[in-house]
Amino acid sequence: MAMLTIKDLEVYYGIIQAIKGISFEVKEGEVIALIGANGAGKTTILHTITGLIAAKSGSIQFEGNDLTKIPAHSIVSLGMAHVPEGRRIFAELTVLENLKMGAYTRKDKKEIEDTIEKVYKRFPRLNERKNQIAGTLSGGEQQMLAMGRALMSHPRIILMDEPSMGLSPLFVSEIFDIIKEISESGTTVLLVEQNAKKALSIANRAYVLETGKIVLEGDAKELMNNDSVKKAYLGE
């Protein structure tokens, strides 16, 4: 049974069609990677799922809810979190204040405190810097904060957009280890990532996008050994 089902999705920017009737699904507990060149439509798909962009046609079913009919601000409370491209943290606020913003849909103060402790355990660096202004963190730390903030809402599924973008190789490895841990602790992950090699190394399945269409799909390990994927995305 799929947790998230995208069917015949079409999205336009004005007269330009960005997404051309794609269908795919994410099952509970999976890490699914969407890979493809810049401009293939990966970010647009995530924005449409989370209601930031309206679909022209098609359906997005998440645990029985049609997300195309639900306002964006209500989608978080259904159990979906989005770590946007470019982190989008609240730069003027402290690390701790940013984390609390991630829990705005939750009311139980004790539960929120417990979740903050869990986030600190997973990201010790955020604990060390909890009173620091978020805008002064390094790129890698800001990415950890964006991920920590998303986890504050107790999501059933987390959508991540280019988590490794602009990070040093050391941080890239660390971020992917964390994504793997998040998945192993029971949260489903839909991952959009420029670094195809890293994405395929932790994903169960993957979909390859080209100009708004899915051109390849399958087991992540198999795609890693696919000659056209190697040539186009893995630099081999």
- Report the CATH number that the domain containing residue 50 is assigned in CATH: 3.40.50.300
Place of tokens 């943290």: 89
pTM of the model: 0.92
Evaluate whether residue 24 is within a structural domain.
yes
Angle between helical axes of 169-184 and 109-122 (0-180°, round to 10): 130
pLDDT in tens, 45-75: 999 999 999 999 999 999 999 999 998 888 9
Number of domains in the chain: 1
Given this model, what pLDDT does residue 232 score?
84
Q: Residue 217's domain spans which residues?
A: 1-78+202-236
Q: Is residue 167 part of a domain?
A: no
Task: State the pLDDT confidence band at 236, using cuts at 50, 70 and 90.
Answer: low
Q: Does residue 49 sit within a domain? A: yes
Within a domain: residue 124?
no
Q: Is residue 67 part of a domain?
A: yes
Query: Per residue in 150-188, pLDDT tens?
Result: 999 889 999 999 999 888 888 899 899 999 999 999 999
Confirm whether 190 is domain-assigned.
no
User: Which run of H or of E encompasses 189?
Assistant: strand 188-192
Any domain includes 116 = no
Say if 120 falls within a structural domain.
no
Please give the torsion angle defined by the CA atoms of residues 1, 175, 209 and 188, in that order, rounded to the nearest 10 degrees: 10
pLDDT in tens, 79-128: 999 998 877 899 999 999 999 988 887 888 888 899 999 999 999 999 99
